Amino acid sequence: MPQISPLVAGDPGQLGSFRLVGRVGEGGQGIVYLGVTDEGEQAAIKLLHVKFSGDTIARSRFARELKAAQRVASFCTARVIEADLDGDTPYIASEYIDGRALRDIVDDDGPLRGTALDRLAIGTATALTAIHHASIVHRDFKPDNVLIAADGPRVVDFGIARIIDSSGTITSRAIGTPAYMAPEQIAGDDVGPYTDVFAWGAVIAFAATGETVFEGNSIAVVLNRILNHEVDVSMLAEPLRGVVRSALSKSPDDRPSADQILLRLLGQPETVGASTALLTRGVQVASDDTTPFFRVPTGMAGTGSLPKAQLMHPPEQSSVTGGEPIPWATGSTPPPRDRDTDLPAPARDTDLPAPARDTGPPAPRRRRAWWFALAAAALLIGATSVVAVRNDWAQLVFSTGTSPVPAPPNSFTSVVDKVAQTKKIVIGVKGDLPGVSLERDGGFEGFDIELAKRIAQELGAKQTQFVRIPKTGRERALADGTVDLVIATYSIDKSDVEFAGPYYVAHHDLLVSDGNSIDSIDDLQGKKICAPNSPSVGNVQARVKVQLVPATDYAQCMDKLRSGEVDAVPGEDLILAGFASRENQRFKILGAKLNDERYAIGIKHGDTRTCKAAEGVITALYKEGVVKSLLAQYFRNVDFTPEQDTPSMNSCG
């Protein structure tokens, strides 16, 4: 994680909703602080230097940065949380990415290989596609501005990003980091999305080789190499090799768009631009380092699901990657653009400025790529059966039945209607929480999973498929029919989703070692607690003064608690109990009940019929003792008294 240095004399203590707790770094425009809200939400807060606070030009640049960042959908980028550009201390608070810079990772650990490199390429291509869909050019894409977090790579820092004008380009002086500038940037010519694509190629080459490909002992040497040096990409496996080579073309006209890069890396045809569903899948692939996927060209996949043994043991050899298993699945042909109504107008393929429009490569190159992919697909299909394809966002899914689940016809007015006709249901789950929802040995297990099976059965389903779904993709997956329900410790909130439930009322609480002297939250005064990215941390701080020990996730927190490095781990009680229940050492939930989290079932917005039906099932499962039995089954190894009373149901519709 980034090194956070202490605040110094003169640093503010509060900016907006955030209490400042340390310095992340300092640049030409300002200082970046780590801030925390009372709810425990963390943010990277960029504060304009005092020396520029009266400079209208500097404020204008700052406003432009905010405008740029707010226009970019949060696909593998950092979301803007809060900003104030009118006060005496103008600042922008963005989502804090707890990760290491790509440059530091490569410098310290060496070049990336195989799946790690592929996921980096897909994640960063997804981010650039989202940036360009907002008609933004980053202009300083480099290894320092790519952070590798627990959920995959994120592209950050829009400090010199510019909005594309009506001509589709930007005319300005050369600006950026020399070794990652494109030839047109050096020459002071028009800059566009194709400029970021060149930088992307240089970044991926750096990650693969550990060397800055346009390095030199002077600026003049660097610029000369950019203009004249051809980068050796032979160490890369296809299709990444060809994509990076074309991205590093000296002429902007010869480079693919970010859309085309993402489509190629995910095995999709380049007949249209990248849809919202494809961006969502890019995020999923980049963030998921546990599930094996296969890249198969669209049109070659059937509708059956792979046998479980093949899911867990993909082929050892692949003609596409030159020997490594291919870790992705593909989807169907991207839907017509009029289905992407949730995208901003500039993101629509026909509305993009000319340089960013996904027009596809020249016909001969497209044909060669297709026939190459076709041959690779034939080999994969012969070895591995077929891949389930659903609504432009495909992935391998694990089924409790034996037959494939087809995409729901548009005629279904509700999930209840679909289940009544097909007897099949697809449920999105989180898949990374022990005891709650964990993907393991080719299937899923945990409290959420068993509860979901009971609900599906009571709704009339004879076959249930579980799909691991990232947090950022839940609403879209429900909206486009990729999944019918989402049961993923999904708290009732104000998002554009129908919620049934809650199926469980969790509490923000603390996990401590059983048998120690800590029996209440007051006993934690002055003690050390683990500090993952959780609102529970702020809830504890509001009650008692503690020392925070940073951690990237709950697995790391459990290591610290087990070793005695911390005295407690804050979090939602069901999640804490799940992690603790798999330990040999005994732990207990303190019972502080600092705040409530109402876990609910996400349903497509407007499906009131399914919402009411699901709530009826939940109520029955509580009254029949099923929920009590499941809680005892999955959390019996920890001293924990879960909520067992039937919760008050949310209002449907």
**SS (HEC) of 263-317:** HHHCCCCCCCCCCHHHHHHHHHHHHCCCCCCCCCCCCCCCCCCCCHHHHHCCCCC
Q: What is the dihedral of CA 513, 517, 519, 524, to 10 degrees?
A: -90
> Is 540 within 8 Å of 524 (Cβ atoms)?
yes
Name the token pair of 170. Answer: 């930007």
Separation CA 522–CA 540 (nearest Å): 10
Residue type, 296: V
Residue whose C-alpha is closest to residue 393's, from 325, 454, 472: 472
Instruction: Mention the CATH class of domain 398-502+599-634.
Output: alpha beta
Select from 3.20.20.70, 1.10.510.10, 2.60.40.10, 1.10.3720.10 the CATH code of 100-377: 1.10.510.10
Q: What are phi and psi of 284, to 5 degrees?
A: -65, -45
How high is the mean pLDDT of the chain? 76
Separation CA 428–CA 412 (nearest Å): 19
Query: Can you give the pLDDT at residue 391?
Result: 31
Separation CA 616–CA 618 (nearest Å): 6
Name the token pair of 530. Answer: 């683990």
140 noted as active-site residue = yes
Domains 398-502+599-634 and 508-597 share a fold: yes
Q: How many CA atoms lie within 13 A of 460 on its CB side?
A: 11
Neighbours of 460 (CB within 10 A): 16
Separation CA 509–CA 553 (nearest Å): 16
Residue whose C-alpha is closest to residue 408's, from 394, 422, 420: 422
Separation CA 354–CA 176 (nearest Å): 23
Using pLDDT thresholds of 50, 70 and 90, give the confidence band for residue 188. confident
> Is 318 within 8 Å of 118 (Cβ atoms)?
no
Separation CA 98–CA 132 (nearest Å): 25
Using pLDDT thresholds of 50, 70 and 90, give the confidence band for residue 28. low
End-to-end Cα distance, the chain: 42
Least confident stretch, 158-162, 226-230, 466-470: 158-162
Instruction: Mention the CATH class of domain 14-96.
Output: alpha beta
What is the CATH topology of the domain spanning 508-597? D-Maltodextrin-Binding Protein; domain 2 (3.40.190)
Catalytic residue among 84, 98, 118, 140: 140
Cis check: omega of the bond before 239, within 30 degrees of 0 = yes
204: left (phi over 0), alpha (psi -120 to 50) or beta: alpha
Position 600 pLDDT exceeds 50: yes
Name the token pair of 517. Answer: 């002297």
Residue pLDDT, tens place only, 466-502: 999 888 888 889 998 999 999 998 888 767 899 999 9
State the DSSP H helix or E strand holding residue 304, giving kind and residue range, or none if neither: none
Position 351 pLDDT exceeds 60: no
Separation CA 539–CA 135 (nearest Å): 39
Q: Where are the domains of the chain?
A: 14-96, 100-377, 398-502+599-634, 508-597
- Mean per-residue pLDDT, 540-564: 91
